[in-house]
Amino acid sequence: MRALLLENIHPEATRLLEERSIKVSTASGAMDEDELIEALQGVDLLGIRSKTQLTARVFAETRLTAVGAFCIGTNQIDLDAASRAGTPVFNAPFSNTRSVVELAIAEIIAMARHLTDKNASLHAGVWDKSAKGSHEVRGRTLGIVGYGNIGSQLSVVAEALGMQVYFYDVVDKLALGNARRCDSLEELLSKVETVSLHVDGRPGNAGLFGAEQFDQMRPRSLFLNLCRGIVVDHEALRERLLSGHLAGAAVDVFPEEPKSAGDPFVSSLQGIPNVILTPHVGGSTEEAQIDIGRFVAGKLRDYAATGATVMSVNLPSVQIDDQVPHARILHLHRNVPGVLARLNTVLGSHQVNIDRQVLSTRGELGYVVTDVASPLPAPMIEELLALPETVRLTTIGC
């Protein structure tokens, strides 16, 4: 098998894949649609991060066995197209949680103490030893918008520093520690002095935070966005910073980001005092990248070797043994009544006995893994492929 890993995925992923005799090619940057389709000819496994866009056309014009998103989000991937192609997508929903939380905490403290301004003054040769405008974070109120893996852990760490935490989420979530749930975003904004966004990149969240929401924030509040660039109106944020309504902001994600390291970057937030801009590095620590490399590469490797789809974001989840007996049939199909019976009828008509069979469904798809102790006749495989419900058929062994 062949794998292509883009966007500087950690070498640990290459090592794990090559251990299973998978030939790995790498590239440092993202690719546009045409480049990607050309590069994927003959490639079975693809690894990307957040910049590469996997469109319906990419899936239609390639034959990917599996895709690994070496990050948390998968909004850069057309998951419906991946499902129609029978291509499982895996991500790393937990691996860089701590890294993002630590950056958020560091930025809250840096803004509260005006460390960026102090640093700039001293580099310019100005000794500005003053406590004016500098505050401890202990006792201050933090509002977290989005209480998922990152938001909830930020809640715990912030509370350990003595902050009072409020959160808002459209889904009913269990509050950790002494965090308090707000019934609306408006309620949260009226209560807190610091707001940190941790929502996902679904289209419905585009423009979630704009002029109306900034105006509802308390004067001289701090604002952080370490989730998705499309969530925030940067022009509205700039206006509130320049007017003094907001005392500081930290932004790690942008509506449009350069494809590769070293490419030029322009933002309307550049040059504003007490604004921290970082190049989408919330999860970019050595520890997080190693863990992401291991986790996602392990999922790709396991699927290629055994057909296991545990924690796939788009296909039914099937956990199966690592040891493939004589042969294994992986049948992804439309989830309609009678498919399993028809599949087994085909096997029985070719005198193929079933050792073990596991079926799982998810929405419009079903996935059945069948272990057999005999060779797989070519006419039988052709009949399975010809079933009208078949989306994808893969065999392991012979």
Our answer to whether residue 257 is catalytic in this structure is: yes
At residue 47, the pLDDT reads 98
Calculate mean pLDDT across residues 85-94: 95
Q: What is the fold of 1-95+286-315?
A: Rossmann fold (3.40.50)
**Strand arrangement, sheet containing 2-5:** 23-26, 2-5, 45-48, 66-69, 89-90
CA dist 221 and 265 (Å) reads: 27
- Residue pLDDT, tens place only, 218-247: 999 999 999 999 999 999 999 999 999 999
Mean pLDDT of the chain: 95
**Considering only the top CATH level, what class is 320-398?**
alpha beta
Our answer to whether residue 356 is catalytic in this structure is: no
Q: DSSP labels for 184-244?
A: SHHHHHHH-SEEEE-----GGGTT-BSHHHHHHSPTTEEEEE-S-GGGB-HHHHHHHHHHT
| Annotated catalytic residue within 113, 257, 294, 342 | 257
Q: Would you say how long the chain is, in residues?
A: 398
Confidence band, pLDDT 50/70/90 cuts, at residue 325: confident
| Annotated catalytic residue within 228, 238, 331, 333 | 228
Per-domain residue ranges for the chain? 1-95+286-315, 97-277, 320-398
- Residue pLDDT, tens place only, 268-317: 999 999 999 999 999 889 999 999 999 999 999 999 999 999 999 999 99
Confidence band, pLDDT 50/70/90 cuts, at residue 72: confident
Two domains, one topology: 1-95+286-315 and 97-277: yes
Our answer to whether residue 18 is catalytic in this structure is: no
In three-state secondary structure terms, 297 is helix
DSSP class of residue 129? -
Q: How far is CA 200 from CA 42, 56, 196, 293, in A?
A: 33, 21, 13, 21
| Annotated catalytic residue within 280, 328, 333, 392 | 280
Confidence band, pLDDT 50/70/90 cuts, at residue 67: very high
CA dist 377 and 13 (Å) reads: 36
Calculate mean pLDDT across residues 115-128: 94
> Which architecture does CATH list for 97-277?
3-Layer(aba) Sandwich (3.40)
CA dist 387 and 368 (Å) reads: 14
CA dist 109 and 99 (Å) reads: 16
Helices and strands (H, E) in the chain, number of each type: 13, 16
Q: How far is CA 321 from CA 17, 327, 370, in A?
A: 19, 13, 12
Strands (E), the chain: 2-5, 23-26, 45-48, 66-69, 89-90, 141-145, 164-168, 180-181, 194-197, 221-225, 246-251, 275-277, 327-334, 354-362, 365-372, 390-397
Confidence band, pLDDT 50/70/90 cuts, at residue 326: confident
pTM reported for the whole predicted model:
0.82
- Residue pLDDT, tens place only, 137-164: 999 999 999 999 999 999 999 999 999 9
Confidence band, pLDDT 50/70/90 cuts, at residue 50: confident
Q: Does the pLDDT of residue 63 top 90, yes or no?
A: yes
309 alpha-carbon distance from chain centroid: 17
CA dist 367 and 42 (Å) reads: 25
